[in-house]
Amino acid sequence: MAVEVQSEQGEERVFVTKIKSTDNQSPVREKIMDTILNNVFNNVKDERILMEYLQYIQSNHSHLEQSFQLELENANWEIVTRLLYVILTEHFFECEPYQLVQGLNVIKFKPNQDATLDSSSLSVQLQFYIEDLYCLDRFTLDKTKKLTLVEYGPTKESSCVIIHNYSGLVSVVEKYFGKTTTGYEQFEKDLDNCWVNMALSKVLSNERMELLKEEITKMNCKSVPEYIESMLKQDPSYSHVFYEQFHRRGHPTHPFVKSKVGLSVDQVTNYSPEFGGTIDPRLIAIHRSKGGFKSYDDQQEPCPNQFIFGLFPCIEEKVRDYFKMIGLELQDYYLNLIHPHQLSQPVISQFNQDIENNELIIIPSSMSSDISSRPLVSVRSLALQYKQSDQYNQTLPSIKCSFSVLLTTVVRTLNHSTCITSPQFSRILDDIFKRERGNGFGTKIHFVKDLMGIYYYHDDQTGAGGGGGKHQHKNAELSSLWRQNLHCFVTDPTTEQIVSVPALFNTSPISGTKLLFEFIDQLKTNQHITTTSKAIRLWMKHYFQLLLPFYIIMSTKYGVAIEAHHQNTYVIIDRGVPTKLIFKDWDCPRCVPERLDRQNIDYSSIKGTSILHFQDFTQKRAQIFIHVGELLMHVFAHLQTTNDSDEQSWTMEKELIQDSSTILQSTFNQLKSDPIIHDQVLQDQEYFFTTPFAEMLAYTKWRLNPTPSIPPHFLKNPWYQN
């Protein structure tokens, strides 16, 4: 239980933790409590989860106890940094104009009108020290200096609070931001969940990386890309899942980056991709009166049973025999594979009546025992494989599953409507890609087709059993989207590596640098480039020449803004060179109907869906600023650590922004020649080059006050006036 303690030295206050002891504490608990009380950062709301994770480490990985405690401290400061970044960029407070700098920063603001304060508080200062500052106003805090909050009253007297942990920063938000409809206690408990999972992820994945390092060293490989090239000779599809599970750091700025609310620590280690495990999906059958499906193939429209048996012929006989045994007709049901978590309580208890009425059949796990999978970056996505095979599969789809767990700020179920619109939107993309083949669509740029969506759906018009809200929730619990295997985009399986873009920013166990720079070093060696700076610039040019024309053509010519953040993007790298990009996830693109109309695109299949909520088009399109900015940030951070000259880093920053700006301008110039879209090209060109800030969505502020529309926040535009 957290309390605020005032020190004897002036007005300085320190947030510390006091945890109530019990008369019958076990020696194990007592030892853990001693550890906690010796660290000021453990100001947790949810003591239970901290105890669960500490006991898990002690019971299963006792040699990692000290490392885990260290990572708890590191995770605390990582969350403080992320939360501070969000407070500033999402404009929680009305601040006086400021410019972030390396060293001391003083942010002056007024408390919000509805904050829980007495009238004596007139102004507040947040003081912190930045160690490193990057583009997009990203920064790392100097942990050796104090993060303080100074409050000035009407007589100019001040009181000072030292913030030691994210709990202290949440207290600042609660006091001065004030308004919330969801409550700060749950907000902080979710941060506690994220905190322990960040530490767990780091210590266990670090151990896995050490084992990988030993294996790579034994094979006499000098880098991760070189190791993967060797592995491709044994298994041509090895790279995709490897790099998905190589990614460990999560979302770059989200304060709840590793929160998995609803899972036990054992489930976290079983389901999370960075631990390199496997998951056995479960087979269910949904009665046709309560289920549905949508196929990408609108001509044949194979039913889910044909589709699944075609992929896994080894289970067909067993499943048919099982239905005969229980006296039901398989043809009356739709089969589906779902995440095993969806059969746990309390999720499956919502379907007790359906199970009793034989409207939902939970098929015994022995029927699908030949099917396994590996979890991918998004946790709820699974790469399917045959259990008896040591190799990944080059043809089996992956599935995006309903997953009733709070990841970041959203429970990741999958609405039945997404299962319908995603295959339909894939067909629209197919049309666009055929038209733009001359611009590399379908050769250098690919999209992952959503082949089939299968779902439970019951429209209870009578309101029986809890009404429409209950059924709307149920309709999102048993869905799966079946996606194309990425290996179909590979031309040379012996040299091309499918890399999930977020993996590029994870540290290699071989070089100790980000994976991105091992690929750049590979390009430098293979192409005999003399300096690392030249190799970086060439690598980034290759990448931007793939990314930017595609994105501008899609958004400017066709009015399609895909959610092109890194998690939805793959790059195929051939001997160090980025040669192709792959995009996925058609859950929430946004389209401008007028632009589709000008190109005579048939979008009748998605009319009435959220995809045509073009009001969100600007925010979706702005994902490109983060996509590029994140790449640039890691390049500059790398140069700052490897170069003696800060001037060289800044020179490289200007060169890379200029290179990307030139590619943007060239693409706009190409599109201007079409009189049908000339005006909208000028409009978009102005947006990219003369708008100082890109409008994004303020998800953390919205987390405290959910509203039908998410409030905006603004991000620096790297191409402004360039």
- Give the single-character DSSP code of 364: -
Q: What is the helix (H) or strand (E) element at residue 107, kind and residue range?
A: strand 103-110
Please state, in angstroms and rounded to a whole number, the distance separating the CA atoms of residues 548 and 623: 12
Does the structure show a pLDDT above 80 at 1?
no
Of 578, 558, 561, nearest in space to 570 by CA: 578
Type of residue at 425: F
Query: How would residue 47 be classed by pLDDT, with cut points 50, 70 and 90?
Result: confident
Average pLDDT over residues 389-407: 88
Does the structure show a pLDDT above 80 at 39?
no
Average pLDDT over residues 458-463: 65
Average pLDDT taken over every residue of the chain:
89
Q: Which residues on adjacent β-strands are paired with residue 125? A: 108, 150
Give the side-chain half-sphere CA count within 13 A for 718.
28
Q: Are 710 and 702 in contact (CB under 8 A)?
A: yes
Of 102, 299, 93, nearest in space to 177 by CA: 93
Q: 3-state SS of 534-580?
A: HHHHHHHHHHHHHHHHHHHHHHHHCCEECCCCHHHEEEEEECCEEEE
pLDDT at position 712: 85
Please state, in angstroms and rounded to a whole number, the distance separating the CA atoms of residues 397 and 486: 8
Average pLDDT over residues 402-412: 93
pLDDT at position 32: 52
Q: Are 414 and 401 in contact (CB under 8 A)?
A: yes
Average pLDDT over residues 462-473: 57
pLDDT at position 21: 36
Q: Which of 15-19, 165-169, 571-575, 607-611 has the highest mean pLDDT?
A: 571-575
Does the structure show a pLDDT above 50 at 502?
yes
Query: How would residue 27 be classed by pLDDT, with cut points 50, 70 and 90?
Result: low
Between 281 and 645, the higher pLDDT residue: 281
Give whole-number Cα distances, 322 to 147, 387, 680, in Å: 63, 21, 59
Please state, in angstroms and rounded to a whole number, the distance separating the CA atoms of residues 288 and 283: 16
Tokens at 517, concatenated: 């720079």
pLDDT at position 393: 75
Q: Are 410 and 398 in contact (CB under 8 A)?
A: no
Please state, in angstroms and rounded to a whole number, the distance separating the CA atoms of residues 331 and 363: 15
Please state, in angstroms and rounded to a whole number, the distance separating the CA atoms of residues 146 and 124: 16
- Give the single-character DSSP code of 397: P
Q: What is the helix (H) or strand (E) element at residue 619, kind and residue range?
A: helix 617-621
Q: Which of 234-243, 479-488, 559-568 has the highest mean pLDDT?
A: 479-488
pLDDT-wise least confident of 297-301, 469-473, 554-558? 469-473
Tokens at 506, concatenated: 């994870």
Give the side-chain half-sphere CA count within 13 A for 220.
0
CB atoms within 10 A of CB 134: 19
Please state, in angstroms and rounded to a whole number, the distance separating the CA atoms of residues 448 and 603: 19
Break the chain down into helix, strand, coil percent, rounded to 5.
Answer: 45, 20, 35
pLDDT at position 344: 93
List, as one string, the DSSP characters of 281-314: -EEEEEETTTEEEEES-TTT---HHHHHHHH-GG
Query: How would residue 589 be classed by pLDDT, with cut points 50, 70 and 90?
Result: very high
Residue spans of the domains in the chain: they are 2-176, 278-488, 497-716
Q: Are 422 and 481 in contact (CB under 8 A)?
A: yes
Give whole-number Cα distances, 599 to 66, 477, 559, 562, 603, in Å: 61, 37, 10, 18, 11
Give whole-number Cα distances, 295 to 264, 282, 302, 304, 477, in Å: 35, 21, 7, 9, 19
Average pLDDT over residues 328-337: 98
Please state, in angstroms and rounded to a whole number, the distance separating the CA atoms of residues 639 and 223: 19
Please state, in angstroms and rounded to a whole number, the distance separating the CA atoms of residues 277 and 705: 37
Specify the pTM.
0.92
Query: How would residue 215 be classed by pLDDT, with cut points 50, 70 and 90?
Result: very high
Q: In terms of DSSP bridges, do strands 13-17 and 158-162 run parallel, antiparallel, or are they unpaired? A: parallel
3-state secondary structure of 213: helix
CB atoms within 10 A of CB 277: 13
Adjacency order of strands within the sheet including 410-412: 260-261, 403-407, 410-412
Of 146, 144, 167, 140, nearest in space to 50 by CA: 167
Tokens at 551, concatenated: 């994105």
Does the structure show a pLDDT above 80 at 60?
yes
Query: How would residue 259 be classed by pLDDT, with cut points 50, 70 and 90?
Result: very high
Length of the chain: 722
Tokens at 196, concatenated: 């322990």
Does the structure show a pLDDT above 90 at 163?
yes
Q: Are 216 and 373 in contact (CB under 8 A)?
A: no
Of 629, 716, 674, 650, nearest in space to 252 by CA: 629
CA 94 remoteness from chain centre: 29
List, as one string, the DSSP characters of 666-717: HHHHHHHT-TTTHHHHHHHHHHHHH-SEEEEE-HHHHHHS--SSPPEEEEE-
What is the per-residue burial (b if ≥16 Cβ within 10 Å, else e) of 575-586? Answer: bbbbbbbbbbbb
pLDDT at position 470: 66
Give whole-number Cα distances, 682 to 342, 542, 591, 617, 644, in Å: 49, 26, 19, 17, 42
Q: What is the helix (H) or strand (E) element at residue 196, kind and residue range?
A: helix 184-218
Does the structure show a pLDDT above 50 at 22?
no
CA 273 remoteness from chain centre: 12
Query: How would residue 26 be classed by pLDDT, with cut points 50, 70 and 90?
Result: low
pLDDT at position 43: 67
Does the structure show a pLDDT above 60 at 42?
no
Fold held by 497-716: Transferase(Phosphotransferase); domain 1 (1.10.510)
Query: How would residue 20 be classed by pLDDT, with cut points 50, 70 and 90?
Result: very low
Does the structure show a pLDDT above 50 at 14?
no
Please state, in angstroms and rounded to a whole number, the distance separating the CA atoms of residues 705 and 695: 19
Intra-chain end-to-end CA distance of the chain, in Å? 52
CB atoms within 10 A of CB 227: 23
Average pLDDT over residues 702-712: 84
Give whole-number Cα distances, 25 to 42, 185, 378, 600, in Å: 19, 26, 39, 72
pLDDT at position 13: 36
Query: How would residue 114 be classed by pLDDT, with cut points 50, 70 and 90?
Result: low
Does the structure show a pLDDT above 80 at 17?
no
CA 460 remoteness from chain centre: 34
* Long-range Cβ contacts of 178-185 (<8 Å, 24+ apart): 178/111, 178/112, 178/114, 178/115, 178/116, 178/117, 179/112, 179/114, 179/115, 179/704, 179/705, 180/704, 180/705, 181/704, 181/705, 181/706, 182/703, 182/704, 182/705, 182/706, 184/704, 185/45
Diameter over CA atoms, the chain: 84
Does the structure show a pLDDT above 60 at 29?
no
Instruction: Give Cβ neighbours of residue 309 (< 8 Å, ≥ 6 apart).
Output: 315, 316, 319
